[in-house]
Amino acid sequence: METIHITMPDGAIREVPLGTTAGEIAQQISPRLAKEALVARISPLGVHANASSSETAGAETSGDGSSGIESSGASSNGEGFLIDLRAPLDHDVRLSILTPKDPDAIQVLRHSAAHLLAAAVLELFPNVKLGIGPPIDNGFYYDFVRDEPFTPEDLERIEKKMRELAAQDIPNERKMMPKPEALELYRKWDQGFKCELVEEKAVESMVSFYTTGKFIDFCRGPHIPSTGRIRAFKLMSVAGAYWKGQEGNPQMQRIYGACFYTQQELDDYLHKLEEAKRRDHRRLGAELDLFSIQEEAGPGLIFWHPKGGLIRKLMEDWLRDELLRRGYDLVYTPHIMRLDLWKTSGHANYYRENMFGPIEVEKTDYQLKPMNCPGHILIYKSRLRSYRELPVRLAELGTVYRYERSGVLHGLLRVRGFTQDDAHIFCMPEQIETEIVDCMDFAFKVMKTFGFSQYVVEVSDWDPAHPENYTGLAEDWARSSAALQNTLKKLAVPFKRMVGEGAFYGPKIDVKLIDAIGRPWQLTTVQFDFNLPARFGLEYVGEDGNRHVPLMVHRALWGSVERFFGILIEHYAGAFPAWLAPVQAEVLPLSEKFSVYASNVLAELRAAGFRAHLDDRNEKLQAKIRDAQMQKIPYMLIVGGKEAEAGTVSVRHQSKGDLGPRPLAEFISDLRKQVDDKVI
Ligand SMILES: [Zn+2]
Ligand SMILES: [Zn+2]
């Protein structure tokens, strides 16, 4: 009997008959491993794992290239190939049996869940036309063409059918078929999209298929052995999609599902989604009357309503004070400047796609600014600078306009007009580390002040193998990248190095903060620029009397006021801390009888400088409390006979509930302390 040698991850070599499967080897090792195993990985020794010619494997990929992870049995992540547990091994290989602990195995499970979805849909709607069905982050999808839209009730039925088919533990079996036969099969079945895929993707004469009961799919795999392992899943939504992701192609209905290995993981994921929905800044922005986007005015343009405007004022006041304390100068630059300026800066060339079109005035083209940098450069250049005045730190809450396709606009997070908390630092090489230290210190202060404690830091560098993709000399890159890294080391800030991720004009530090539900948000960026000082001929007179080129750093801490406000709304779920809340205290009289005392309380709060409001509507107390809760006002002060007599207020906190009666003066001094200390 012919045998082959299988090398296991621990180095052990097993001699097994030719054609033994990974599943059988798992069974030999332990029945428990066999039960846990989803798929196997063989190392890249040029060995073919499938009985039939492996290069012939057909292909099902994500197709639209946007959200899919290519599903494939023929090539994995560089560590080897993923293969079915029931694929016969036909050569000496290194083999790992993958359990759900392996992220690649989970993607295989999700891919099999996509097939299960298609199988269920075909049982219920035999006339649908099939598109593609890959795994994605957290789940899977499958595209279908059907005349009627899938309704939520349809999704329920489909999910039920999936559970039925899963319970039957139907095997996922691989079949090889000659290409003409495959085309004939799909033609007879009237599956035009699948015919197209076979035509395009099947380069060899044999084509790979997977069957799940009656369902058959042109697919490279691999798949988990049978449907019984797909337990923790849920159909989430239906969305429109174009065939192959191209506008103009036939419209399909994409059914999305979430899929995890355990119910607990699925529940956690669904809970996180619920939380994200509850915190959605677009919904809260309307409910709390903070901001709006008006179709009449155009997409991606933000209207700050009085309450949002007030929060913005508080944010900006804090920022400006901090800028001045740190030796920045505040400047303002025009929103529209000659297009020629943007040619000098290079934006008119490499940034054109993100710019609004030029505006002609008196036969000269003007440009709405997409960035503040050239404006600050013109201020720097307005006179000759001496080394004695460096560093020059010019800061501006600078409003910029960028063209974004309407499809990518998203609330406050992706807009067409926004205000950056922008600054440009011009300095000498020996000053750079001190400047970076202060930028980082400032960034950490921003996070602490606004209530964030977790973050990740990345240093993005050039790719020294491809200097042609970057401006600046190798020594510039080496020196400034070292400055960034040394600074972070000195500050004991852990960071990740991202080689080849730097901008073409210089290395940078990016800070991503982690919000209340664990989501990362790109925030602060500190970037060197070797390009603009050269383009604009910036210089300073050094101690030696000669002219030198200053180093230039762009830095933004919030990124933009709009975006940071959106993040804050979601982080706090709209319940801002007292120092930021548009209304800090709502006075709630028990009845009209106490309106005089209530008005006095209101007057005292306002005299003390607080943002207070009196709810004097003729409503039941419970209704008033509910409304104040809905508006996420930090403090509700309930006043009735007892309170009027004793000069107290009964304090109720938005999240802590009833705190009991307190003398008004005491409440006022407590609130003052909270606001002054910016207590979160
Ligand atoms: Zn597939
Ligand atoms: Zn800039």
Ligand at minimal distance from the CA of 373 is 2
**In this structure, which amino acid lies at residue 32?**
R
402 is annotated as an active-site residue:
yes
* Catalytic site residue from 195, 219, 259, 373: 373
Pick the catalytic residue from 424, 563, 571, 613. Answer: 424
Per DSSP bridges, beta strands 635-639 and 585-589 are parallel
Neighbours of ion ligand 2 (CB under 5 A): 373, 554
Q: Give the distance between the most distant pair of CA atoms in the chain.
A: 101
Ligand nearest to the CA of 141: 1
Q: Which of 86, 508, 624, 652 is catalytic?
A: 508
β-bridge partners, 392: 426
Residue 508 known to be catalytic:
yes
The ligand placed nearest to the CA atom of residue 395 is 2
Helix residue spans in 262-301 (DSSP H): 263-278, 281-287
C-alpha of residue 107 to centroid of ligand 1, in Å: 11
**Which residue in 402, 555, 563, 571 is the catalytic one?**
402
Options 217, 280, 422, 615, the catalytic residue: 422
Asked if 554 is an active-site residue, the reply is yes
The span from the CA of 241 to the CA of 252, in Å, is 5
285: left (phi over 0), alpha (psi -120 to 50) or beta: alpha
**Peptide linkage before 222 cis (omega within 30 of 0):** yes
Q: How far is the CA of 94 from the centre of ligand 1 (A)?
A: 25
Q: How much distance in Å is there from the Cα of 62 to the middle of ligand 1?
A: 9
Question: Is 563 part of the annotated catalytic residue set?
Answer: no
Considering every ligand atom, which ligand is closest to the CA of 531? 2
Is 5 annotated in the active site?
no
- Among all bound ligands, the one having the nearest atom to the CA of 140 is 1
Q: Which of 312, 347, 554, 613 is catalytic?
A: 554
- Among 420, 527, 631, 654, the one annotated catalytic: 420
The set of residues, in sequence order, having a beta carbon less than 8 Å from that of 250 and lying 6+ positions away, is 145, 193, 242, 243
- Centre of ligand 1 from the C-alpha of residue 69, in Å: 12
81 CA distance to ligand 2 middle (Å): 45
Residue with tokens 């994409």: 254
Distance 424 CA to ligand 2 centre (A): 6
What's the gap in Å between 399 CA and the centre of ligand 1?
48
Give the mean pLDDT of the chain: 92
Cα 122 to Cα 145: distance, rounded to the nearest angstrom: 12
CA of 240 to the centre of ligand 2 (A): 38
The answer to whether the CB of 114 falls within 8 A of the CB of 255 is no
542 with 252: CB under 8 angstroms?
no
Query: Per 3-state DSSP, what percentage of the chain is helix, strand, and coil (rounded to 5)?
Result: 40, 30, 35
Look up the pTM and report it: 0.80
pLDDT confidence of residue 81: 87
Gap from CA of 372 to ligand 2 centroid (Å): 6
Report CA(559)–ligand 2 centroid distance (Å).
11
Distance 41 CA to ligand 1 centre (A): 18
Among all bound ligands, the one having the nearest atom to the CA of 220 is: 1
Distance 363 CA to ligand 2 centre (A): 28
CA of 151 to the centre of ligand 1 (A): 24
- Which ligand has the nearest atom to the CA of 143? 1
Instruction: Give me the pLDDT at residue 202, please.
Output: 80
- State the ligand closest to the CA atom of 333: 2
Predicted pLDDT of residue 79: 66
Instruction: Cis check for the bond before 467: say yes or no (omega within 30 of 0).
Output: no
Q: Judge whether 373 counts as a catalytic residue.
A: yes
3-state DSSP of 346-366: CHHHHCHHHCCCCEEECCEEE
The low-confidence residues of the chain, meaning pLDDT below 70, are 44-79
User: How many angstroms does the Cα of residue 376 sit away from the middle of ligand 2?
Assistant: 8
Exposure string of 407-441, with b = 16+ CB inside 10 Å and e = fewer, is eeeebbbbbbbbbbbbbbbbbbeebbeebbbbbbe
Whole-number Å distance, alpha carbon 159 to ligand 1 midpoint, is 18
| Collapsed DSSP state (helix, strand, coil) of residue 638 | strand
Our answer to whether residue 191 is catalytic in this structure is: no
By C-alpha distance, which of 194, 225, 192 is closest to 207? 194
